[in-house]
Structure 1
Amino acid sequence: MISEQRKGELYLLAEEFLWGWFPIVTLLTYPYLAPLWSMGLTLAVAAVFFGLLMSKRLGSNLWRELGNRRAWKDLAWSSFYIMLLFVLLFTGLAHTTAGNAALILFLQVFFAFLYFNLLQGEKMSPPHLAGAALMSLGAFLVLFPGEAGLNKGDLLVLLAAMVAPIGNRYQQRARRHVHATTLLFVRTVTSLPVVLLLAWAYANPPALADLQATWWLVALNGVFLMGLSKIYWIEALHRLSVTKISAMTALSPLFTMLFAFFILQEVPGGWQVAGILPILTGGMLITRPLDPGEAVRGCRPGR
């Protein structure tokens, strides 16, 4: 019999493996699709996936949850912030590397700590102080490599990392009132028309040949990376501690950099390599509880 702890670890490991592919698959669509069109088409596939899942797995009870007014406010805000996160991420990926994007997005752990712990006046223990300092150092090395200056794509992904903890907080609140599948369906369906409108306004629609060349990548992104992996993520959130989750999410940028090396022939630069260890180590330190059994509030990364 598998324990709930072990189930959570397996869910999270599967999620991290799948999510590590997200920047790779997304970048492979960009020679054919503008970033916002790539996002819009991916959301359309994910919306169908979640809609079928709501109907097939748990019947009409999930559809009735849409009428739960107690969840509406949190669903609306979570949808807004998660949509903003992915608009920034999809756009930023067009101007940076997959490895850089994965590392910078992991900084959401730092921003969660800043928003929900440090700015609320909680005491700063030595491990937390060391973690914040290490993540700041690692971020500086990745964001400002030598004299090249701040890359536009890195800045957009950094903004996505700043938005992620806020969206995750509203997702956690909404999850108290509705099932995870309902939450994911609502955030996807409500984001879809906005993203498609932005895509029509700022980018040329893809040609039929472009769609034929990328349909399988969009399907992978929508079903597995923006679909199944998010279900695994929600399931892991319910079974594991903040410390365990934050430590294991450090696997995602490592997976991404490994996959990018083989698929995109993307070789990590010296500054990027120098920033890996302090960012990942700092993320683990910053989520350590002050006392045994005490959780660090708010530090769960948001996806």
Structure 2
Amino acid sequence: MTKSIADKAVPVAKAGYLGGMALAVGGAILFSTKAVIAKLLYRYHIDAVTLIAFRMLFSLPVFALVAVWQMRAGPPLSVPDRWRIVGLGLVGYYLSSLLDFLGLQYITVGLERLILFLTPTFVLLLSATLLKQHIGRLQWLALLIAYGGIVLVFVHDLQGGGNVMLGSLLVLGSAAAYAVYLLLSGEMVQRIGALRLVAYAMCVSTAACLLQFFLLRPAGMLVQPAPVYWLSLVNGLLCTVAPVFMTMTAVQRIGAGIASQAGMIGPVSTLFLGAVILGEAITGWQLAGTALVLTGIYLLSRVKRAT
């Protein structure tokens, strides 16, 4: 009897692991696809302010429902925690998303995704600067390799002209803003829960995005061609809501370390989606740069897991 139960437990555990991996990979691909959707939306001559307003507007109902559910299920937040969530929502989702979509107007989706993938390195550098944490030799090597890959792709794309420098700096600012969010939210995640924090922060971000839109743009810009609404729906639900919950579920099943490594498929998927859907060329320089960035982030994740 004991052996039979054990034999049944192995496939169940394996199925749970494979399911978690599938969720992590799927979440990374969907989240990376937002850059491709943004490029398609820009073809309809809307700007970043309008794009992000539509994205958050379509994702708001889901996050609002989760926020109300969490509000009823959990204890009330203290006043300081409420202000912290407002700050985190403004920095982590409003500012980082705005800078990201502004940058996408000038650079390829492949370069955008690689720059955003440097977020863990920003967390490490901020931890060393603000929290005085020590950076080991292997970590410095990982940083050097990752940033070397970015420089490789950046120099290649710079030859194509345009405002590549401006776009890269904007997306770099997006990665830095999200790193600040991750660094500051660590203690709150443990205390109030990831689901509750994300739902509340996304509601704050949505309010900021909509307020920004109505301050800077006429209400008539809400009237757009039908494809803009459909693409924004995909951007809000499939590229925002779905990957958030998929990644959270994956972390619960297989752990944050393995889930983050599975997420490395994001830059690769973006590179090929950009080629298939947008017609962006894939060159040897881009592939080499992508390989270097992924190697650097992988080494960094191994060091963090070991410590």
* TM bucket, shorter chain: 0.7 to 0.9
Greater Cα radius of gyration, structure 1 or 2: 2
The 1:16–1:90 alpha-carbon spacing in structure 2 relative to 1, beyond 3 Å, is same
Post-superposition shift, 1:18?
A: 1.1
Q: Which moved more, 1:96-105 or 1:150-159?
A: 150-159
Q: Which moved more, 1:215-224 or 1:271-280?
A: 271-280
Which residue is 2:270 aligned to?
256
Post-superposition shift, 1:241?
A: 4.8
CA distance in 1, matches of 2:257, 2:222: 47
Which residue is 1:196 aligned to?
210
Tell me the secondary structure at the aligned position of residue 192 of structure 2.
coil
CA distance in 2, matches of 1:233, 1:41: 23
Q: Cα deviation per residue 1:175-224 (whole Å; 9 max; x = unaligned)? A: 23434443232222212232223334444556466242211111111112
Which residue is 2:55 aligned to?
42
Q: Cα deviation per residue 1:63-98 (whole Å; 9 max; x = unaligned)? A: 454832274244223212211110111111111111
Post-superposition shift, 1:134?
A: 0.7
Structure-1-length-normalised TM-score: 0.83
CA distance in 2, matches of 1:100, 1:221: 19
Match runs of 1:1-303 below 5 Å = 1-2=12-13, 5-32=17-44, 33-53=46-66, 60=69, 62-63=71-72, 65=74, 67-69=76-78, 71-82=81-92, 83-117=94-128, 120-125=132-137, 127-145=138-156, 151-203=165-217, 207=221, 210-241=224-255, 243-289=257-303, 294-295=306-307
Identity %: 20
The 1:141–1:222 alpha-carbon spacing in structure 2 relative to 1, beyond 3 Å, is same
The 1:53–1:72 alpha-carbon spacing in structure 2 relative to 1, beyond 3 Å, is closer
CA contact (8 A) 2:139 2:303 kept: no
CA distance in 2, matches of 1:66, 1:219: 33
Which residue is 1:301 aligned to?
none
Give the CA RMSD over aligned residues. Answer: 2.7
The 1:62–1:251 alpha-carbon spacing in structure 2 relative to 1, beyond 3 Å, is same
CA contact (8 A) 1:12 1:232 kept: yes
CA distance in 1, matches of 2:198, 2:225: 25
CA distance in 1, matches of 2:207, 2:29: 29
Q: Which moved more, 1:86-95 or 1:191-200?
A: 191-200
Structure-2-length-normalised TM-score: 0.82
Where in structure 1 are there 5+ consecutive unaligned residues? 296-303
Tell me the secondary structure at the aligned position of residue 202 of structure 2.
helix
CA contact (8 A) 1:71 1:178 kept: no
The 1:206–1:228 alpha-carbon spacing in structure 2 relative to 1, beyond 3 Å, is farther
Post-superposition shift, 1:61?
A: 5.1
CA distance in 1, matches of 2:281, 2:140: 32
CA contact (8 A) 2:36 2:278 kept: yes
Where in structure 2 are there 5+ consecutive unaligned residues? 1-11
Tell me the secondary structure at the aligned position of residue 68 of structure 1.
coil
Q: Which moved more, 1:262-271 or 1:279-288?
A: 262-271
Post-superposition shift, 1:270?
A: 4.9
CA distance in 1, matches of 2:174, 2:276: 26
